[in-house]
Structure formats: structure tokens, C-alpha cells
Amino acid sequence: MLVDFNTLPEESRVWIYQANRSFSDEEVTEINSKIETFIEAWTAHGKGLQAGYNIVYKRFIIIALNQNLNRATGCSIDASVHFIQDLENAYNVDLMDKMNVSFKQGEFIAYKPLVDFKKMAKNKSVSKNTIVFNNLVSNIAEFRENWEVPASESWHSRFIK
């Protein structure tokens, strides 16, 4: 059951998928429709899941699930992974690679392999004040407070002196 992302409880589980490129406006419209269709049909052991989503900066797909109502199961999580993989194929985009880092460079969102981000940190091209996206947050409360933070407040800090 699709609900507005902003109406979900703070403890709702989140999954964040970062794209290796920005989506076009047309792609965002299409992806919105596909996500809504997926969430409307998303179930766990035949029970509907109350979920919402956001597409942020035309680059991040955030899916949230109210687990107070019904919890995700292995099969329902597998279904969501297959859905994301279908989006990857349809739009020729990488959404699942967790070994990449997204961060702000002025008004732009940069996307780099972790090894390149480490080099940038070593060369002081990024600093403890660089805004990074911590895609390891696990619920909406953490997403709101700790997703878009200075590198010094994220797991990225280990690379910055």
C-alpha cells in the first residue's frame, strides 16, 4: 500500500539506492510511476506493505517501509531488489554498487568510486566539511538527521585527515 513518504513513522526502515548519474526529468516521471506500481503490489506473505518513496536530487531512490504494520520478509526484500535491478537494466544505470561515494561539490552531486574518494581525501580535494551522503542509515529518523552530513560526521571520516 503506497503512502506519502512524509507520513511514515520515524522508525520506518529505509533502503537507499544511489545512481551513478542523474536521471532526466522524463526518467524521474517514468521511475515514479514504476515505483508506485511496485509499492502498490508489494507484499510479505500475502499481506500488503505500507511503504513510500522519494527520489532526491534526481539521483537517489529512497524506499521506506512501515514495519510496525507488516515487516519485510526475505521474499519481499528479494522482490524489491529485483525491482531495483529491473530499473538498472531499463535505464542503464547502476543503483546497487555500495562501493561508490556521492558527495556535494557546490550545487552538484559528485559520484566517485570509493578508491577515488580516498585519493581525493588524501589530496585534500575533499575535507571533513564536504557534505556526503551516508546511505547506511536504516530508518527515516536517521535519514532525516544523518543522511546528508559533513564527512566528519559519517563513516567517510576514516579517510579524511
What is the structure's pLDDT at 102? 95
Residue 159 has pLDDT above 90, yes or no: no
Residue-wise pLDDT for 99-156, tens only, equals 899 999 988 999 999 999 999 999 999 999 999 999 999 999 999 999 999 999 998 8
Distance between CA atoms of residues 2 and 31, nearest Å: 15
Q: What is the pLDDT of residues 58-91, one digit of tens each?
A: 999 999 999 988 888 888 889 999 999 999 999 9
Yes or no: say if 60 and 19 are a contact pair by the CB < 8 Å rule: yes
Report pLDDT digits (tens) over 8-37: 999 999 999 999 999 999 999 999 999 999
Q: State the DSSP string of the chain.
A: -B--GGGS-TT-EEEEEE-SSPPPHHHHHHHHHHHHHHHHH-EETTEE--EEEEEETTTEEEEEE-TTTS---HHHHHHHHHHHHHHHHHHT-----TTEEEEEETTEEEEEEHHHHHHHHHTTSS-TTSEEE-TT--BHHHHHHHSEEEGGGSGGGGG--
Q: What integer pLDDT is reported at residue 64 of this predicted model?
A: 97
